[in-house]
């Protein structure tokens, strides 16, 4: 992708973005593909994947790669953390205050300039916990 070329918002990109903005479940590529196919039945999985990558590179979406085994996508771009169930993989947003002092502390004790961070908590969701009790 050329950085000096402005990419237009194609119909496919717009539908992918609209479908992703409707949910807060941090869907995988396959899940997004199934959602988009309801509106664009002839779209291919490859097209969805390619456009998710483009929208991520443009800063319109966030790709969550540290969340279990599948890449997930988030249309929410503000600083926020996540919590993931280690049993079923469910992922939720956490609206807690991020620890602002940590990047500054890391700047002082490492040779890195910290430019961002990704915080994920793990645990067992209530559904999985209840199922375990049965």
Burial of 122 (0-12, 13-18, 19+ CB in 10 A): exposed
Instruction: Report domain 1-76's class.
Output: mainly alpha
- Return d(Cα 59, Cα 41) in angstroms, integer: 27
Coil, strand or helix: which one is 120? strand
Q: Tell me the pLDDT tens digit for each residue of 35-79.
A: 999 999 999 999 999 999 999 999 899 888 765 667 888 888 877
This prediction has a pTM of 0.71
Q: Which of 13-17, 78-82, 97-101, 117-121 has the highest mean pLDDT?
A: 13-17
Nearest to 74 by CA among 46, 44, 88, 94: 94
CATH architecture of 78-134: 2-Layer Sandwich (3.30)
In which residue ranges of the chain is CATH 1.10.10.10 found? 1-76
Q: How confident is the model at residue 2 (pLDDT cuts 50, 70, 90)?
A: very low
Residue 80's pLDDT is 79
In which residue ranges of the chain is CATH 3.30.1490.190 found? 78-134
């Amino acid at each position: 992708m050329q950085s000096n070329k402005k990419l237009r918002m194609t119909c496919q990109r717009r539908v992918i973005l609209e479908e992703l903005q409707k949910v807060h479940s941090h869907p995988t590529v396959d899940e997004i593909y199934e959602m988009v196919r309801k509106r664009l039945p002839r779209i291919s999985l490859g097209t969805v994947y390619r456009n998710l990558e483009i929208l991520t590179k443009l800063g319109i979406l966030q790709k969550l790669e540290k969340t279990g085994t599948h890449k997930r996508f988030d249309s929410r771009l503000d600083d926020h953390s996540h919590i993931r169930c280690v049993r079923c993989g469910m992922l939720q947003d956490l609206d807690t205050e991020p620890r602002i002092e940590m990047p500054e502390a890391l700047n002082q004790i490492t040779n890195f300039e910290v430019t961002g961070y990704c915080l994920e908590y793990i645990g067992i969701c209530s559904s999985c916990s209840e199922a375990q009790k049965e």
